Chains A and B, each alone.
Chain A
Amino acid sequence: MNQNLSVLAVFSLLSVLAVGGGAAVLPETKELVVNQYHWLNDDQFRDIYGLGQVVPGPNMLMVMVIGYHVTGFLGALLAYLGFFVPAGILSWGASRVWDHFEGSPWRVSLQKGMAPLVIGLMAAGAIAIARTAIEGELTVAIAVGTFIGVSFIRRVNPAFFVLGGGLIGLILLSGTGAGMP
């Protein structure tokens, strides 16, 4: 199949599967992009995920960089449209009919049932990134440090911890060949 069509198809599928947001769909993204289509290897996936974490706005804009790696700027545009538009249309449609279900007890059931599923999917997302990013004691230390920082120092924007992790990596890991292909 044409590579551009594949990019559009993969990210459209991920879009409608992204129940619970970006982190929830990470394992499936990695499975499709790395293992099935071989567009990226493990290290590239981790790196591009990292790029997505240091830019503002919706945290899955990194899909554009994945598309760019497949077919250049057109791939980036198709990944962007594929990932955001199908889910966006669903939300748009739902928001126009949602009020008709005001007071339906099934709305509560849906929220209560989906909440733990989403938490499970987010945890699986953290595991998927850990499998590519955690290699050696220092990376464990950075992950644990960020976990503690984000959990207990609420006044600091979490992005600073992520940038701090990058700075520590730059200073302490650059002589070790860490992350080299």
Chain B
Amino acid sequence: MSASAEPAPPADDSTGYVIPRDVPLWDIFLTFLVIGATSFGGGVVAYLRAGLVIRKKWLDEEHFMSALEISQALPGLNATNMAIIVGDRLRGIAGAVIAFLGITLPGAALVMLLGVLYASNASNPYVNAALVGVGSAAVGMLAAVTMQIGRKQFGGLIDAAIIVVTVTMVSFLHISLIWVLVTVGPAAVFIYRPRKNDTDGTGEPAA
């Protein structure tokens, strides 16, 4: 794969949908800037879908899901990985860079403003009390989001075992994340390896 500045060739599929090639860079920047400035509360995938698939029609559902699949399988945040992949498909490397800057700049500017204010008010009792409240609420939100994703993808006892092993290794045995990833990861993928008599392509162990 050469690192050319040309966009990846648009995938031709049965629906005949082709990713537009002539989207101006400023339009990519502005679209991701708006998503970056309005996506509060973590659910950035919903904002991306609304902006890219529904409003701009730069991607159809299928291409959106394929980009999301890559973002989730690889390290990094969905928001920035999606911006880079979609920007690249629209306008090559320049599109990827501009989309990444767009989605991160509003939050980056605001978090730095808050960070500088925090650094000079770190011993203010009101600031501390408010941040304890925010931190506690964040625990509840993280737990809720984990449950939502867990319920959607939960596949029975095998999954439960993998979850328990992972939490035990990270939270209670304090094993470094890199070791958890290189042991549990391949083991989990091996458990769900393709079977010879798996004809439906679901990856489920054949009965």
**Interface residues, chain A, with chain B CB atoms under 8 Å away:** 15-23, 25, 27-28, 31, 43-44, 46-62, 64-65, 68-69, 76, 80, 84, 86-88, 90-99, 105-130, 132-135, 138-140, 142-151, 157-170, 172-181
The listed residue (A52, A98, A169, A180) touching B111 by CB distance below 8 A is A52
Residues of B within 8 A of A162 (CB): 41, 134, 137-138, 141
Interface of A is mostly: helix
B63 to chain A minimum Cβ distance, whole angstroms, is 10
Given A90-B74, A129-B138, A162-B138, also A17-B178 (CB < 8 A):
yes
Number of B residues with CB within 8 Å of any CB on chain A: 107
Residues of A within 8 A of B122 (CB): 44, 47, 181
Docked-complex contact B8 and A151, CB < 8 angstroms: no
Q: Which chain B residue lies CB-closest to A89?
A: B84
A85 to chain B minimum Cβ distance, whole angstroms, is 9
Docked-complex contact B131 and A129, CB < 8 angstroms: no
Within 8 A of A (CB), among B117-160: 118-119, 122-123, 125-126, 128-150, 153-155, 158-160
Docked-complex contact A120 and B170, CB < 8 angstroms: yes
B113 to chain A minimum Cβ distance, whole angstroms, is 9
Docked-complex contact A142 and B137, CB < 8 angstroms: yes
Docked-complex contact B136 and A169, CB < 8 angstroms: yes
B20 interface hit (Cβ, 8 Å): no
Given A124-B171, A139-B136, A142-B140, also A109-B194 (CB < 8 A):
yes
The listed residue (B84, B147, B155) touching A151 by CB distance below 8 A is B147
Q: Which chain A residue lies CB-closest to B87?
A: A92
Q: Which chain B residue lies CB-closest to A100?
A: B1
Q: Which chain B residue lies CB-closest to A90?
A: B74
- Stretch from B21-29, B52-60, B161-169 that touches the partner: B161-169
B171 to chain A minimum Cβ distance, whole angstroms, is 5
Residues of A within 8 A of B184 (CB): 117, 120
